[in-house]
Amino acid sequence: MKKFLLRQCLAVLPILLGVTLITFFLLQLAAEDAADMLYRQYGAVSEAVKAQTRAQLGLDRPLYVQYFSWLLHLLSGNAGYSYISGLPVSSIFWERLPTTLFLAAASLLAALCISLPAGFYCALRHNKKADYLLQLFSFGGSSMPGFLLALLLIYFFSVRLQAAAVLSSSGSLTAFVLPVITLTVPIAAKYTRYIRGEVLRELQQPYVYGALLRGIPKNIILKQYVLHAISLNMLTVTAMSAGSLLGGTAIIESIFMLDGIGRLTVEAIVMKDYPVLQACVIWSTLIFILVNLAAELLCSRLDPRNSIFSQERL
Partner 1 sequence: MISQKTTFLRAILPVLLLLALSAAGTWAAPHDPFHQQLQQALLPPGDEYICGTDRYGRCVFCRVLAGAPLSVLTALSLTIAASLIGTTAGIYGGYYHGSVADKFLLHLTNIVLAFPGMMLALAIAGIAGGGMLTAAAALLCSSWAPYARLARRQVITIRHAPYIEAARLCGCTDTEILFRYLLPIAVKPVLIMAAANIGTMLLALAGLSFLGLGAQPPAAEWGSMISSSRSLLQVAPWTVFTPGCALFIAVCCFNFSGNALHDLLEPEHNNFLKERTYD
Q: How far is the CB of 109 from partner 1 (least distance, A)?
A: 19
Q: Which is nearer to partner 1, 203 or 299 (CB)?
A: 203
Distance, C-alpha 154 to centroid of its chain: 24
CA–CA dist 242, 129 (Å, integer) = 32
Residue 132 CA, chain-centre distance (Å), reads 30
* Best CA proximity match to 96, nearest among 174, 170, 23, 180: 170
C-beta closer to partner 1: residue 18 or 304: 18
User: Given the complex with partner 1, which of 4 and 288 has the nearer CB atom?
Assistant: 288
Query: What is the smallest separation between the CB atom of 48 and partner 1, expressed in angstroms?
Result: 27
Closest to partner 1 by CB, 234 or 243: 243
The CA–CA distances, whole Å, from 215 to 205, 209, 211, 220 equal 16, 10, 6, 11
- Least separation, in Å, of the C-beta of 52 and partner 1? 26
Cβ-based neighbours of 266, under 8 Å, separated by 6 or more: 250, 253, 254
For residue 174, the surrounding DSSP H or E stretch is none
In the bound state with partner 1, the residue whose beta carbon lies nearer, of 2 and 192, is: 192
Which of residues 139 and 207 has its CB atom nearest to partner 1 in the complex?
Answer: 139
Helix, strand and coil in the chain, % to nearest 5: 80, 0, 20
CB of 269 to partner 1, least distance (A): 3
Contact 195, 123 (CB under 8 A): yes
In angstroms, the Cα distances linking 119 to 58, 116, 139, 244, 299 are: 57, 5, 13, 22, 22
How many C-beta neighbours within 10 Å does residue 53 have?
A: 17
Burial class (CB in 10 A: 0-12, 13-18, 19+), 231: middle
108, 249 Cβ separation under 8 angstroms: no
Our CB check for partner 1 shows the closer of 126 and 305 to be 126
Instruction: Quickly count: other Cβ atoms within 10 Å of residue 64's Cβ.
Output: 9
In the complex, what is the shortest distance from the CB of residue 195 to partner 1, in angstroms, rounded to a whole number? 14
d(CA 273, CA 280): 11
* Least distance between partner 1 and beta carbon 310 (Å): 15
Q: Which is nearer to partner 1, 19 or 216 (CB)?
A: 19
Nearer to partner 1, 171 or 215 (CB): 215
CB of 284 to partner 1, least distance (A): 6
Q: In the complex, what is the shortest distance from the CB of residue 101 to partner 1, in angstroms, rounded to a whole number?
A: 13
Shortest CB 285 distance to partner 1, Å: 5
Q: What are the beta bridge partners of residue 81?
A: 88
Contact residues for partner 1 (CB under 8 A)?
Answer: 14-15, 18-19, 22-23, 26-27, 29-31, 124, 126-127, 139-140, 142-148, 151-152, 154-155, 159, 200-201, 203-204, 243-248, 250-251, 254-255, 265-266, 268-270, 274, 277, 280-281, 284-285, 287-289, 314
